[in-house]
Chains A and B, each alone.
Chain A
Amino acid sequence: MIYREAGQFKTTYAADQAIFPILQDRIFVALAVVGAFVIPVRFANEYWLQAVLIPFLIYALAALGLNLLTGYAGQLSLGTGGFMAVGAYSAFKLASAFPALNIVLVFLLSGLVAALVGVVFGIPSLRIKGFYLAVATLAAQFFLIWLFNKVGWFVNYAPSGTITAPPRTVFGVMVTGPDAAAGARYVAALAFVAVFALIAKNLVRGRVGRSWMAIRDRDIAAEIIGVRPLRTKLLAFAISSFYCGIAGAELVFLYLGSAETLAFDINLSFLVLFMVIIGGLGSVLGSFLGAAFIVLVPIFLTNVPHTVGLNLPVALAKQIELMIFGGLILFFLIVEPHGLARLWQITKEKLRLWPFPH
């Protein structure tokens, strides 16, 4: 960075274990969070909020959830879309069954439901690992989507099979439903992701996060120091699904407004997994970078020909966009297989020594 930690000595272990041990980092992050709450609401237009920032925040939350499971605990999952669907459908059922219930509570409770479902589908992880576990979690994906499609109860027997976000307020401000302003929905999504990013950071720097990483790195050694494998893995599934469940509820309530099961199909699972891999496995920051990459780059690529005055046929532009997007993913993975977060860390270390090479 342009600043260095020179002269910042720690005199307590508590200070040494802070999330951001360097003062300038703390100031920067605090400013960034405040800025994120204030600036877009005042200055961004409807398009930016609705098409870019809100999906980015929601995907970031889902990626955070999957990163806890796959990046930290080392359990590969392709059931993310399914767990997000559980959150969405639970939120819909809860909101329609208890209209007086605060929407924040609805989200948290749907997260809990998703956590329970996640635990059930996490049980095979005791016996199967790696790619085989990924295939086993596919069962969750397909079963859950099938369930929500087949059982009318989940959509309150709506003939269209869609769930819609009912109008609800928080502190007197409409945050869900057709009349909710994009700014309000943005702030709601941001508040959730900010709080849960902090919680994730707390989890991974303490005893729980260490036990996850122990299972990831060497499960036999983890057992010998007293980490109980099943319990630890199921906890990772629970918390990961909790995050994904809330993200799923947000996807319908804060972003799409109404959705069918198609919104939660296997593509969504892959999308979130790509975010985690590109952003960086085992990194909270990486979840955000990965979500930003996947959400922003296609939008950027769509708009580039326009801004430089190139009038390509729409279909051709779309094809080129996909090709460049794929190329970029390959490029970043070759440059740094550990993701954008690692790239950022290396940049920081290089700048720290700059202008000296070592």
Chain B
Amino acid sequence: MSAILEIADVSRSFGGVQAVQKVSVDIPRGEIMSIIGPNGAGKTTVLNMISGFYHPDHGRILLEGTDITHLAPSEIAKLRVARTFQNIALFSGMTVLDNLMLGRHVLMKSGVLSSFIYWGLAQREEVAHRKRVEDLIDFLKIQDLRRRPTGSLAYGLRKRVELGRALALDPKILLLDEPMGGMNQEEKEDMARFILDVNEEWGTTIILIEHDMGVVMDISDRVAVLDMGLKIAEGKPDEVRVNPAVVKAYLGETKTSEVRHG
């Protein structure tokens, strides 16, 4: 299978800290790829480099063969790369519906003048995109929350709305930064189901950062492991699980043969 995203030899340092060192990962199209590693391993930095917040000091990132290494976040959004944040970044003053409509911002065209008039061009566009957003609202089962300001929602629901906003972009690649962080078991299962459904239904490639090893091992097609900014392992979940370098990174120097299920 061809890679939709190639991360080639990227490095990034902040001051004296080497956050990511010469990491290369190919993400196959249509797969769920997890990036795991202990705290401070550089996982979020990798995600931030893909979505354009940081640019690598060295190395390149190719999306379907096009170099996106130095594009701004908004330009990368145009290429249909969507993401969620570790500590939810919804627009808290706006309704769920508006948040999801914003997810489609780059797919919409109406400018200032057509917005002045609204009736006609802008309205047709609003309605067309609203349809897709309503599909997502149904998919995520948040119909009753449409008009609620996202600031007033419970934590788990906000995570779900944020997933919805990312999905509203009709993404080719979905970057999820700890989508299950801080959730209880039931919410985790729901979220895992949504992630699998997105992957199956729309064939969306998903890059996932997650600390819950149980979930990671269950839903990932491939897993890459980072430690101290270096990639120490990559492969199928079962291979990674027994990889001695991974075990060492997680548990320290011991004779344990398996990563403890978390």
Contacts and interface: CB of A to CB of B under 8 A. Distances in A.
A218 B127 contact: no
Which of A209, A217, A224 counts the most B-chain CB atoms under 10 A from its CB? Answer: A224
Nearest to B165: A225
B94 A213 contact: yes
A221 B89 contact: yes
6 contacts: A210-B105, A211-B102, A218-B90, A227-B74, A228-B72, A239-B112
A216 B91 CA distance: 8
Interface in B69-118: 72-74, 77-78, 82-83, 85, 89-94, 98, 101-103, 105-106, 108, 110-112, 115-118
Interface residues of A, number: 32
Contacts of A282: 93
A228 B165 CA distance: 17
A207 B108 CA distance: 8
A210 B130 CA distance: 14
B51 A224 contact: yes
B140 to A, nearest CB: 17
Q: Could you say which interface size class chain B belongs to? A: 35 or more
A224 B134 CA distance: 22
Contacts of A202: 115-118, 122
A203 interface: yes
Given A226-B77, A226-B105, 18 more contacts: A17-B123, A202-B115, A203-B115, A205-B118, A206-B126, A208-B111, A208-B112, A211-B102, A211-B105, A214-B91, A217-B91, A218-B91, A222-B102, A224-B77, A225-B165, A226-B106, A226-B169, A228-B74
Contact of B126 (A13, A224, A225, A239): A13
Identify the interface centre among B51, B78, B82, B123: most chain A CB within 10 Å of its CB: B123
A203 B116 contact: yes
Contacts of B117: 202
B102 A214 contact: yes
A334 interface: no
Interface of B: 51, 53, 72-74, 77-78, 82-83, 85, 89-94, 98, 101-103, 105-106, 108, 110-112, 115-118, 122-123, 125-127, 130-131, 134, 165, 169
Given A13-B130, A206-B126, A213 B118 contact: no
B93 A217 contact: yes
Contacts of B78: 226
Contact of A224 (B83, B93, B115): B83
Nearest to A209: B115
Contacts of B116: 199, 202-203
Nearest to A200: B116
Contacts of A29: none
A42 to B, nearest CB: 32
A12 B131 CA distance: 10
Interface of A: 12-14, 17, 199, 202-203, 205-211, 213-214, 216-218, 220-229, 235, 239, 282
A221 B91 contact: yes
* Top 8 closest pairs, chain A to chain B, by CB: A226-B77, A226-B106, A202-B118, A217-B91, A221-B89, A223-B73, A13-B130, A13-B127
A205 B134 CA distance: 17
A213 B106 contact: no
B85 A221 contact: yes
Contacts of B90: 217-218, 221
Contacts of B53: 220, 224
B108 A213 contact: no
B38 to A, nearest CB: 25
B131 A13 contact: yes
B37 to A, nearest CB: 22
Contacts of B123: 14, 17
B9 to A, nearest CB: 25
Contacts of B74: 223, 226-229
Nearest to B119: A202
Nearest to B129: A207
Contacts of B108: 207
B101 A210 contact: yes
A225 B127 contact: no
A227 B117 CA distance: 22
A209 B115 CA distance: 9
B127 A210 contact: no
Contact of A206 (B93, B106, B110): B110
Contacts of A223: 72-74, 77
